[in-house]
Structure 1
Amino acid sequence: MKIAKLNMRKNKLKILFIGLLFILGFGYYLANEKAKGYGYTGAIDVVKTYFHNKDLSKKVSAKVLNIEIDKGDWEFIKTKRQIALDRGIQINEGDKYVPCALDVAGEKVSGEIRLKGHMTDHLMSDKWSFRIKAKDSIMGMYRFSIQHPGTRNYVYEWIYHQLLKSEGVIYLIYDFIDVNINGNNLGIYAMEEHFGQHVLERNNRQKGAILRWNPTLYWDWRIDELQGNFIDEQYSHFSSSYAEPYDKGTVKKDSFLLNNYQIGASLLESFRRGEKITSEVFDVEKMARFHVIIDLVGGYHSLDWSDVKFYYNGLTERIEPVGYESFSIRPTTKIAGQRVPNNFEKLKFNYHDQLFSDPIFFESYIKNLERIVSEAYLNAFFKAIQPELDEKMGLIAKEWAYRKVSFEGYYENVRLIRNNISIPKPFHAFLKEAGEDSLEISLTPVSDFPIQIIGIKRKNKFIALDSVINIPAKARNTYTHYFNYTLKKSFKKATNLFLVAKIPGSSFPFEVELNEFPSYKYETKEEMGIAPIEKNVLADTTLTKIGNEWYFNTKAIDLDKKILIPAAVTLTIYPFQTLKIHGDGQFLVQGELVIQGKSKENPLKIKNEKSIPIHVIKGKFQAENVSFTGEGSIVAEESQLIFHHCLFYDKSTDLIAATRSNVYLNNCLSGGLTSLGQFDECEVLVNECTFKNGNKLLYSNGSFLQFSKNRIENFKSIATLDYASIFKTFNSEFSGNDTLFLMRKGSVYNDIASNFDNNLLGLVLWNDPKFMGDAQFSFYKSNTKGIKKITSKI
């Protein structure tokens, strides 16, 4: 009996012990996962980081800044803070400074202080952000700011300024100090030098004016935006601002500084108006290094015209950048030199695009990009700053010992940037005609970068061109453009030829096969059986025309005749109307056709019984909250098609047939859609759409397609990519599809971070060595476990 009880007790203890082990193990697993979400390798790494940083904190002492402010002035500051919190943004109107007394280790000066920062993150918790002006130098500065270290992401902002310093670009003192206000200890603050002559002296520059584009009206607009007041205005734009100096009082009193400012401001204005190019106004090398460092740290947001700061160097007679507020470290999704405009004719209205339009500056930027954005460069840099970095981490650890500094973000940006400039194919090249002494070729750029053609190659023999051919970047939101050139015939045979090219300034060449022009051809309107459009106009009694704005004057639109919408005319169909197209009914669009539904849940329904219900010819078609069903395709030639919150269902024909057009779909849904369409030399951008239960989603001839955050499921095939098509997908879901992509004739597929679930076959590569080279593909951070077989070759 006693033995039985003893065994029972042992069993209970065993169960209890196992239970405790399970709880501890599960708890450790949860702690590990939580830690990884904050950048640690696991729970043990959190503990190691804490004790390592505590050890660093014992080796350093923080400077103490004591600030004394009169009670009434302190109440004034508190009131201004509350106003900013209520408004949602802070605007420093007029003189917001109040007197203060400053003391650092017995170094005492008088000064002025105010709240700083536009966004209210500067005013949260007990660590408010302040701008301070000292009457005399203190800690080597006359002007500086103090703020919560988290506002600039702790030690990463200091690393950014060290990068600028190492490249000879004007940088700011950025440090960490202990702050007391009226005897109340507020703990560790980040201290950031503000703009003044002390910045230039320490950076070994001649005295001069530090300038910016005045952003006051821009921030007024931001207040309207936050309050939901949207108006059509120009006052907040770059084109409406003006160049102004920092420390206006000092500049006004000093004739040298005033003259320096006027010269610098005149140069900036000449640049803005397009009278001078980048290399005539700016220090090309320093501007190039500055932008590359911004790329490296992911500081894209600090390049906005309202944030950039400048210094006019009277010795070089050029304007230099001044580093400030990097927003680091963040992933670099696109680099500074990649931002190409929608319309090259409007360059002067965009500071950044105008900056990069100068080939001299662009080449310097690419050269510095390849030099600085490398693992070897980072290894040497981090080794050099490590002792001082430990000191800064020790200061931060006095209050945040758990903070971990990681260099992985920088190395990841190196990988992202290097991948970005390693273009799979910068342009398409087609041989139009081979004569006895010359070659007629056609080139169409497809990348975000300008390209230089430097030579031609056949069977490993390279011959340089007599003069370099420069082709521009492909402008965003436009269809591909073709550029025709005549080359000297360097080889007897016009077969197996490759053009050798590079991004200007790069040391890495590309080789692009020179191929025959695509075998398909475009039908003319006569070949399509369309009568001259001027004879196809619907009777005026059906339409109301007010200038260039047209609309139907009936609620139920029954279209059984052809109607022409001329260039510069917009015909709008409104949410309260219905539309049926049948018989000879057809819209011929040279202007713009806009169809609007009430909402995504209550769309305007279009029932179509016509093979081509809408034909857009160098025009624009826009549909929002519209459902499409029935037969027929929307045909577009050199046009723009936009679908927003639309529904496509029960269609047995292609929805779209487009040639040299731009097609955009956003937040759309389909079910029972045989095919989204056929796209010849188009740009197709699809975002946050769902496509379910279809045959083949699309067919592409020489098009650029980009899908982001979409869901595609239960298709027999997603796409056939032909004639050097490029298809990019991002963060999308592919589920239950038979075959993903059939790729032929030099086509390219790239995916980043998508999830593939229960798909039978990934890519069918149909390589024809005689035409346009092999198809190429890549997966980056993608989950491909749900593809039973990644590739099959024909």
Structure 2
Amino acid sequence: MKISRPQVENEVKKSQSFGFISHLRLALRSRFFRALAFCLVVLLAFILGIFAHSSGQLYSWVLWGHKAWAKTTQGLVVKVGSYRRNGLPTLYIDMPYESYYKILEKREEALRIGVLLTSDEDMVPAQIRYKDGETLEVDMRLKGDWVDHLESEKWSYRIHVENKGQIEGMRRFSIQAPETRNFLNEWAFHQHLAREGVLSPRYQFVNVVFNGDVKGVYALEESFSDELLESQGRRPGVILRFEEDPMWENTANFMEAGGNAILDEAIFAGFFQITDMNTSEVSVFRSGHVKDDPALSAQARMAVGLLQTFQRGELPASSVFDVELMGRFYALSDLWGAGHTTRWHNIRFYYNPVTGLLEPIAYDAIPLDDWWMRDGVAYPFADDQLFDDAAIQEAYVRELERVTREEYLEPIQSQLREEFDFLRSALDWEYSGDVLEPPWDDLEDRRLMLSEQLRPVQEVRGVYEFTSFPVGEGGDYLRFDISNLMVLPVEVIGFKVSGQPIPAKREMITASTEKYILPDKIVPTLRQGPMGERESLSAASFVVHFPNGLDVVSENAEFDVYAMVRILGLDELHEIPLLNYASSPVLSQGARPNAPSITEALALHHYLSLAGGGESLRVESGDWDVAGDLVLPEGVPLTIPPGTTLRFERGALLISTASVTILGTEEKPVTLTSQQESWGGVVVLGADNASSWEYARIENTAGSERSGWMLTGGITFYESPVHLTAVAITGSMAEDALNIIRSEYKIEFSEFGGLVSDAFDGDFTHGEIVECSFHDIGGDAVDISGSVLKIERSKFVNIADKALSAGEQSEIHALALTIESVGIGIASKDLSTVFIIQSEIIAAEHAALAAYIKKSEYGPAEIIAKELSVQNTETYALAQTGSIIIIDESIVESQDFDVGLLYDLGILGN
């Protein structure tokens, strides 16, 4: 049966919350009604004037009118004045009558059905003004799934700013009544996640004036766009979700047929839900924008493919999602009682093109709401397919243990308390009661409850018996049947029989209700139903040979038998009269190659050997050809000794999740190069310890693109500190010869030369460059975004684009630089600041200095120069209006220019 979408009646009923006045106000804004009103007022004034003059009452009428107007305006001034004094910025919205009437129709449809169904066709044109800024053209529509967003005078809206306009760096956002997200708790939750590195929309509060009506305080929430990612230290990329529209259309169908009663009956009967995490479509936000960008399109194909392969059960969650961030997201959601954000139709994902994994974006949390808080862990996501992965469960437990420690909450409270108190006072004039109470006491209660949940009296239960195994071979064996009593996975370390330890091994398992693979771990799990009820216990059977030295008197003989277990992710070990775990299928390959075990790595690459007591790997000295990728085991460091040469095949990569140490010397440098014209390069991801490279030559890298896993760097360090000394990076064909992301670094006495594009690109980094040489560079020599850099005593020669480029709120401190034969000497963009002292710029083709806005969501930039010598350069400084260049305390005159056009002409960049 085709489920038809409800249609709106032609005549829209006037709701009580609007009434006659609101409709009249809109009518008066149309040209016809304004002309008619003007004529009527003139006619009435003429008639009254004749009557008043003839009766001698004209003066008394004028006096009465003056007093009435004064009284009215006095009240208005008091109201608006108190409204403005709350200290929040104001968003003014002006919507024409035609747009507003369409909004009214949509609202009436939603109120009649009980659910708001939206599409792009619901967008209407309007204008906004933020604070005292310029008027911006926008498209708007109603937003919210349930009609609580529409029932009061404060309706919720989705707003898209047109023509590259923005407010607070946001071009797409929503506004909604604070009560729809549990007032200030949603703001505090997002602030907390940002401090923990978990993506979430920016969330703040504003006053709203709609068509001249003071609507009061609204919550403003950022939508899913590049601005969200860049504001939180991520590269622009693809954001996607499980498509939820069919679910809401089905909800509307049932509710229109009979309201909540019919819907509840359908849910109870089990035939309501037509989509869930496993069956829903996967959709990409801003799909048109993504389609127009080849790089984003490739990322989107990989991201959607990963998510769909996960839905089909062909890849485990730990090969698709960032395990650590998923664990942290779940733990913080549990702490805040924010289970609403973990539901499949609320969670969003960002595909990180560097890691090749999906990161969660927390959204629509409704923290500390009674409906979503339960006295138990992992609610309501314990039964979710996404959480049903031992690696993610382990990360969740580890994070939950961390955030429930006694000392954890105090620093968070200290950081948020001042701004929370300010926002509370701003909302207090409009809301009263306990709805604005600080969340700290409730958080402390939940911390205590969750901490206790991680320390149960007994994790498992079980029995043991004597058996013969294998069948027909005889012999004395013990069989342990163990059931997990926890919602969380439990790790079996081993057993004790009359004091004799028996380490658990995977081959001991003969049967299990749940199966996973984790190296050297045996983990059964307990499933949890959708409303918190326990469905069944998971169990496993272990068969072990009876320990030597113990006599089997009879099958009824009693021994002291214990299972040694712990919750997966915790260190605390418990001895219980029995316990369990299981094995799992071999993982398929995700976006990037799977990490081998140490044994597998040694077998694949004969030039590797064990070092550091078997906990690290070492390349044997010599000249080696590398076959395929050199993928190192997870978390295992690598050392390359002096005089070693590694030659890689075309496109091959050296991939590590631990430090890579190069120990070259001036006489015996280490060389990483290609067997043919190029190779992929080096990738270090999430290494805890710093990589150190000394006297190394890195040649002919090209970066990598593998079906959406894209590395622009010939050398990439992601969340991995690094120190480079006397390193020569030459002949790279990659977009960035060296790309460092979200890391600390130091580069000294090093050379970058003969490069097709940029030499060094730093994204969201803190670093230092000392006494380095950059020459014959086809792009920028040094390009940083969202970063802080100190650079000294370095030389730049023959740079096609910029010697130094600072963007996206970066800061550069430069001293004693020599810059010669460049396109632009130093460029500062998008809220960035560059300080340069005691330096010289010679023969800059376009300009020695340039400051401007490239991305509209940011602001003007500045350059402050002292003791700067500029020679053989026609244009000394180029400052866009609003940006500032100061040279020896003199401000350079700014000018208007079209940044886009100058980029197209190649003046501001390639």
Per the TM alignment, residue 157 of structure 1 is displaced from its structure 2 partner at its CA by 0.3
- 1:268: which partner in 2? 307
Paired residue secondary structure (2:122): coil
The 3 A distance-change label for structure 1 pair 475 and 179 is closer
- 1:432: which partner in 2? 465
Contact 1:234 / 1:240 at 8 angstroms: preserved in 2?
no
Of 312, 332, 335, the residue aligned with 2:374 is 332
Per the TM alignment, residue 112 of structure 1 is displaced from its structure 2 partner at its CA by 1.1
**CA deviation map 1:76-124 (0-9, x unaligned):** 2122111111111100134111111111123221111111101000002
The 3 A distance-change label for structure 1 pair 479 and 102 is closer
Per the TM alignment, residue 481 of structure 1 is displaced from its structure 2 partner at its CA by 6.3
Per the TM alignment, residue 254 of structure 1 is displaced from its structure 2 partner at its CA by 2.4
Once residues 139 and 478 of structure 1 are traced to their aligned partners in structure 2, the CA distance between those partners, rounded to angstroms, is 48
- 2:540: which partner in 1? 483
Once residues 336 and 273 of structure 1 are traced to their aligned partners in structure 2, the CA distance between those partners, rounded to angstroms, is 23
- 1:389: which partner in 2? 420
- 1:282: which partner in 2? 321
Per the TM alignment, residue 363 of structure 1 is displaced from its structure 2 partner at its CA by 1.3
Once residues 322 and 514 of structure 1 are traced to their aligned partners in structure 2, the CA distance between those partners, rounded to angstroms, is 40
The 3 A distance-change label for structure 1 pair 340 and 181 is closer
Per the TM alignment, residue 58 of structure 1 is displaced from its structure 2 partner at its CA by 10
Paired residue secondary structure (2:121): coil
**CA deviation map 1:323-361 (0-9, x unaligned):** 1111211323443388555xxxxxxxxxx22x2332222
AA partner of residue 357 (structure 1): D
Of 407, 422, 427, the residue aligned with 2:440 is 407
Per the TM alignment, residue 146 of structure 1 is displaced from its structure 2 partner at its CA by 0.8
Q: Indicate yes or no: 2:140 matched with 1:76.
A: no
AA partner of residue 472 (structure 1): P
Once residues 454 and 470 of structure 1 are traced to their aligned partners in structure 2, the CA distance between those partners, rounded to angstroms, is 8
Counting only pairs closer than 5 Å after superposition, residues 358-507 of structure 1 correspond to structure 2 as 358-400=389-431, 402=433, 403-433=436-466, 438-457=477-496, 464-465=503-504, 470-475=522-527, 483-487=540-544, 489=546, 492=549, 495-507=559-571
Contact 1:157 / 1:326 at 8 angstroms: preserved in 2?
yes
Please say which of residues 249-258 and 265-274 is displaced more in the overlay.
Answer: 249-258
Of 172, 176, 193, the residue aligned with 2:201 is 172
Q: Indicate yes or no: 2:148 matched with 1:96.
A: no
Of 213, 235, 253, the residue aligned with 1:224 is 253
Contact 2:390 / 2:489 at 8 angstroms: preserved in 1?
no
Once residues 286 and 129 of structure 2 are traced to their aligned partners in structure 1, the CA distance between those partners, rounded to angstroms, is 23
- 1:129: which partner in 2? 156
Structure 1 residue runs of 5 or longer lacking an equivalent are: 1-55, 342-351, 516-794
The 3 A distance-change label for structure 1 pair 366 and 97 is same
AA partner of residue 258 (structure 1): S
Once residues 200 and 540 of structure 2 are traced to their aligned partners in structure 1, the CA distance between those partners, rounded to angstroms, is 44
AA partner of residue 204 (structure 2): D
Paired residue secondary structure (1:424): coil
The 3 A distance-change label for structure 1 pair 174 and 79 is same
Once residues 439 and 458 of structure 1 are traced to their aligned partners in structure 2, the CA distance between those partners, rounded to angstroms, is 10
**CA deviation map 1:645-667 (0-9, x unaligned):** xxxxxxxxxxxxxxxxxxxxxxx
- 1:510: which partner in 2? 574
Once residues 368 and 99 of structure 2 are traced to their aligned partners in structure 1, the CA distance between those partners, rounded to angstroms, is 37
AA partner of residue 149 (structure 2): H
The 3 A distance-change label for structure 1 pair 58 and 458 is farther
Counting only pairs closer than 5 Å after superposition, residues 238-253 of structure 1 correspond to structure 2 as 238-253=277-292
The 3 A distance-change label for structure 1 pair 59 and 462 is farther
Once residues 475 and 245 of structure 1 are traced to their aligned partners in structure 2, the CA distance between those partners, rounded to angstroms, is 31
Paired residue secondary structure (1:250): helix
RMSD of aligned residue pairs (Cα, Å): 2.8
Per the TM alignment, residue 168 of structure 1 is displaced from its structure 2 partner at its CA by 0.5
- 1:627: which partner in 2? none
The 3 A distance-change label for structure 1 pair 200 and 479 is closer
Once residues 84 and 441 of structure 2 are traced to their aligned partners in structure 1, the CA distance between those partners, rounded to angstroms, is 26
The 3 A distance-change label for structure 1 pair 70 and 377 is same
**CA deviation map 1:631-681 (0-9, x unaligned):** xxxxxxxxxxxxxxxxxxxxxxxxxxxxxxxxxxxxxxxxxxxxxxxxxxx
- 2:596: which partner in 1? none
Structure 2 residue runs of 5 or longer lacking an equivalent are: 1-81, 469-474, 507-519, 529-533, 551-557, 580-910
The 3 A distance-change label for structure 1 pair 316 and 169 is same
Q: Indicate yes or no: 2:181 matched with 1:152.
A: yes
TM-score (norm 1): 0.53
Of 340, 356, 379, the residue aligned with 1:301 is 340
Contact 2:466 / 2:476 at 8 angstroms: preserved in 1?
no
Once residues 182 and 156 of structure 1 are traced to their aligned partners in structure 2, the CA distance between those partners, rounded to angstroms, is 29
Paired residue secondary structure (2:351): strand
Once residues 245 and 94 of structure 1 are traced to their aligned partners in structure 2, the CA distance between those partners, rounded to angstroms, is 15
The 3 A distance-change label for structure 1 pair 489 and 166 is farther
Per the TM alignment, residue 483 of structure 1 is displaced from its structure 2 partner at its CA by 3.2
Once residues 439 and 488 of structure 2 are traced to their aligned partners in structure 1, the CA distance between those partners, rounded to angstroms, is 31
Once residues 495 and 132 of structure 2 are traced to their aligned partners in structure 1, the CA distance between those partners, rounded to angstroms, is 72
Once residues 84 and 128 of structure 2 are traced to their aligned partners in structure 1, the CA distance between those partners, rounded to angstroms, is 26
The 3 A distance-change label for structure 1 pair 479 and 314 is closer
Counting only pairs closer than 5 Å after superposition, residues 45-64 of structure 1 correspond to structure 2 as 61-64=87-90
- 2:879: which partner in 1? none
Per the TM alignment, residue 474 of structure 1 is displaced from its structure 2 partner at its CA by 3.6
Per the TM alignment, residue 171 of structure 1 is displaced from its structure 2 partner at its CA by 1.9
Once residues 542 and 301 of structure 2 are traced to their aligned partners in structure 1, the CA distance between those partners, rounded to angstroms, is 46
Paired residue secondary structure (1:319): strand
Per the TM alignment, residue 497 of structure 1 is displaced from its structure 2 partner at its CA by 2.8
Once residues 157 and 86 of structure 1 are traced to their aligned partners in structure 2, the CA distance between those partners, rounded to angstroms, is 29
Contact 1:107 / 1:138 at 8 angstroms: preserved in 2?
no
Contact 2:329 / 2:360 at 8 angstroms: preserved in 1?
yes
Paired residue secondary structure (2:152): coil
**CA deviation map 1:246-277 (0-9, x unaligned):** 12332233222222222111110111111211
Per the TM alignment, residue 221 of structure 1 is displaced from its structure 2 partner at its CA by 1.4
Contact 1:179 / 1:188 at 8 angstroms: preserved in 2?
yes
Once residues 481 and 134 of structure 1 are traced to their aligned partners in structure 2, the CA distance between those partners, rounded to angstroms, is 52
Aligned length: 449
AA partner of residue 219 (structure 1): W
- 2:18: which partner in 1? none
Of 296, 302, 317, the residue aligned with 2:356 is 317
Contact 1:61 / 1:395 at 8 angstroms: preserved in 2?
yes
Per the TM alignment, residue 514 of structure 1 is displaced from its structure 2 partner at its CA by 4.8
**Higher share in strand:** 1
**CA deviation map 1:136-177 (0-9, x unaligned):** 112210011111111111110011101211111112111111
Paired residue secondary structure (2:187): helix
AA partner of residue 280 (structure 1): S
The 3 A distance-change label for structure 1 pair 279 and 481 is closer
